[in-house]
Chains A and B, each alone.
Chain A
Amino acid sequence: MLKKFLSLLALIFVFNAAVTSAARIEPVTDEAGLLKPTEIELLNQKIHNVEQKHKIKIGVVFVKSIGGSDMITASDDLRDKYFSNGMNGGIVLLVAMDKRKYEMATDRRMVERITDSDGIPYLKETFQSELSAGNYYKAVNNFVGGVEELMTYYETNGVPYGVMVKPEGLDPVAAGGAFVLAVIIGVFVRSSLIGSMSNIHHAMEAIDYLKKNTVKLKENRDTFLFMNVQRRPKGGGGRRGSGHSGGGGGGGGSF
């Protein structure tokens, strides 16, 4: 635990040193030396444009290692310290090269716009293959493009990507669903009403005729055979619940 905490402190220290040495907190921080200065400049410019347009904060951080810390904690910490003051929320993409893992962290406002269940998987689709192929500039470019698409979708439709848009007037999906469910309930009601007309049934047991005081157990043996272990990751499918702190969300993977 202490080791993890110290590793996290070290990561924040390194990142602090990087961002304070610059004139301002830039969106892209490349501690792993993967991007050219010109590429960083182009990406920062693009991110600034998206940030201004949608009133959000976007951060991309490449590190060589996060030490003994875990990706979720590290990305949450970066989000909370540097990228959570956007009016419409903030999102951070942390990439750790030693483990070849990445993690996105969204704050409580952003998770309403980019959901864990649909938005985060959509973003993964946009950049994961480029990350695997070592095209880091393209990966970040695609990530930023993805964030912009999802923000535009939210601003246009009023709901995040993946959530159905409520149509005006009669909703055929809801109407169809309501009809099918009502028919099922109607059939159930009919069967119940018809079933209630008879109380005739076969007796399958003779427990009423058992002489209780005659029951004598002569053998009572329990033998352990084997054990099955089932593991289920927490918060896999919901709009939230990815394990990120502070009411935010996110998700990650390996590349």
Chain B
Amino acid sequence: MADSSVSYKCPNCGAPLSFLPGKKTVTCEYCGTEFEVSAIEELFRDKQEIATRAAEAQEAKWETENAGSEWSNDEAKALQAFTCSSCGAELVCDENTMATECVYCGNPTMIPKRFDGMLKPDYVIPFKKTKADAVAALKEFYKGHMLLPSNFTANNRVEAIQPMYVPFWLFDSKITAEAEFRAEKHHVINTPKEIITEVSVYNCRRKGTMSFERIPVDGSKKMDDAYMESIEPFNYDDLEKFSAAYLTGYLADKYDATAEESAPRADKRVENSAVEVLKSSVENFDAVRLENAAVVKDVGKVSYAMVPVWILTTRYNNKPYTFMMNGQTGKVVGSLPYDTTKALLYPALCLLVLMPVLYFVIQMLLYQ
């Protein structure tokens, strides 16, 4: 008998589930749930298939070899480089532009050096926001923060904000995604004596193809990834073929994280979004939960682009604070310092005001 039985896990409680081929239903010995054998067989066949796809997904690679190109001799001659004596950042600009202070650490000593090459970008998003825009946006950003130290804005050097092209890898991908969801339909029956809730559990399988265009991942190790992801999104309608002319008057960072190194961040985001797209097609259910998923890259191309960012690194209590503005959309991001006294004072005031109110509310509830 044991030889002819096949063991699976119960979808309700996870206990081992055994059934005899040929029977139409099986009941879990542990939780008592009854299943159609055909449904269970189909469920586990699908799981096996998704596991196989997941293995394939790990092997799929991005075509990184065509990203970027070489500079011509004339172009290279017109560029110069500066190195920060403090953090080692290496910035590039045209021969008429000077890097006066490091955008990453605020160090004013930038040592000029010979431009020794970098990959020429494929695309550029030109600056749309001026320095005046950046200063105004930053001042606006400071407003409305109750815990901001009073002397922070006074010594903030907002005017020192600098424009810089940040290197980004843009990932294009066409993918096939498949996923299994556990979905529930709730039906509540009200009888005079009791409330009966029937929860019907379904296995929902979805498979589809979709394309993502130019998912940006910064190619600079010095640039905080969270900052770079926070200034998104970019509008690619303004994307232009790269020309060295766009660097005039601006600094540019050299990439130090390769496309291969940056790809896992794009992969993760694609996977999350693909699953969300499939999940949104699981309709007319009261609860939906992802069981497992596999996202396989059918086509994965990479291009190299320069993206405009206004950057200010300032110091407060010997700690650097960096603020950035998307040079195309004007979105400002940053992390402000907070006054520890204010951070205690405001909650304490809140506590003092709330206590009598809560006292009477609790009394009312206790002795109603």
| Chain B residue nearest in CB terms to A239 | B368
B202-256 CB contacts (< 8 Å) to partner A:
202-216, 224-227, 229-230, 232-233
Question: Looking at chain B's contact residues, is the secondary structure mostly helix, strand, loop, or mixed?
Answer: mixed
Cβ-Cβ contact count across A and B, 8 Å cutoff: 227
B324-368 CB contacts (< 8 Å) to partner A:
333-338, 343-344, 346-348, 350-351, 354-356, 358-363, 366-368
- Known contacts: A193-B147, A202-B225, A232-B195. The answer to whether A177 contacts B336 by CB under 8 A is no
Determine whether the beta carbon of B337 is less than 8 Å from that of A203: no
Determine whether the beta carbon of B229 is less than 8 Å from that of A203: yes
B146 cross-chain contacts in A, Cβ below 8 A? 193
Determine whether the beta carbon of B273 is less than 8 Å from that of A207: yes
A206 cross-chain contacts in B, Cβ below 8 A? 212, 215, 266, 269-270, 272-273
Chain B CB within 8 A of A196 CB: yes
Interface string of B38-69 (1 = CB under 8 A from A): 01101100000000000000000000000000
Determine whether the beta carbon of A185 is less than 8 Å from that of B207: no
- Tell me which of A159, A204, A229, A232 contacts B198 (CB under 8 A): A229
State A228–B215 Cα separation when bound (angstroms).
43
| Chain A residue nearest in CB terms to B196 | A231
Interface size class on chain B is: 35 or more
Interface size class on chain A is: 35 or more
> Smallest distance from the beta carbon of A205 to chain B beta carbons, Å?
5
> Smallest distance from the beta carbon of B118 to chain A beta carbons, Å?
25
Determine whether the beta carbon of A183 is less than 8 Å from that of B272: no
> Smallest distance from the beta carbon of A80 to chain B beta carbons, Å?
18
B207 cross-chain contacts in A, Cβ below 8 A? 217-219
State A104–B183 Cα separation when bound (angstroms).
44
Determine whether the beta carbon of B347 is less than 8 Å from that of A186: yes
Interface string of B175-219 (1 = CB under 8 A from A): 000100001000000001111111111111111111111111000
State A141–B6 Cα separation when bound (angstroms).
63
A181 cross-chain contacts in B, Cβ below 8 A? 354, 358, 362
State A197–B344 Cα separation when bound (angstroms).
15
Chain B CB within 8 A of A201 CB: yes
Chain B CB within 8 A of A194 CB: yes
Chain A CB within 8 A of B34 CB: yes
B260-287 CB contacts (< 8 Å) to partner A:
266, 268-270, 272-273, 276-278, 281-282
State A159–B367 Cα separation when bound (angstroms).
8
A220 cross-chain contacts in B, Cβ below 8 A? 205-206, 281
Determine whether the beta carbon of A190 is less than 8 Å from that of B210: no
Chain A CB within 8 A of B174 CB: yes
> Smallest distance from the beta carbon of A72 to chain B beta carbons, Å?
9
Chain B CB within 8 A of A173 CB: yes
B8-50 CB contacts (< 8 Å) to partner A:
11-12, 33-36, 39-40, 42-43
B114 cross-chain contacts in A, Cβ below 8 A? none
State A203–B168 Cα separation when bound (angstroms).
15
Question: What are 16 A-B residue pairs whose CB atoms fall within 8 Å in the complex?
Answer: A175-B359, A182-B351, A189-B350, A194-B338, A196-B145, A199-B333, A204-B272, A206-B212, A206-B215, A209-B233, A215-B210, A216-B209, A221-B206, A225-B12, A232-B197, A234-B194
Q: Can you name 13 extra interface pairs (CB under 8 A) apart from A185-B351, A205-B272? A: A174-B359, A178-B362, A185-B350, A193-B347, A200-B226, A202-B229, A206-B270, A207-B277, A209-B214, A217-B208, A219-B205, A226-B201, A234-B195
Name A residues whose Cβ lies closer than 8 Å to a Cβ of B. Answer: 159, 163-166, 171, 173-175, 177-179, 181-183, 185-187, 189-190, 193-194, 196-211, 214-234, 243
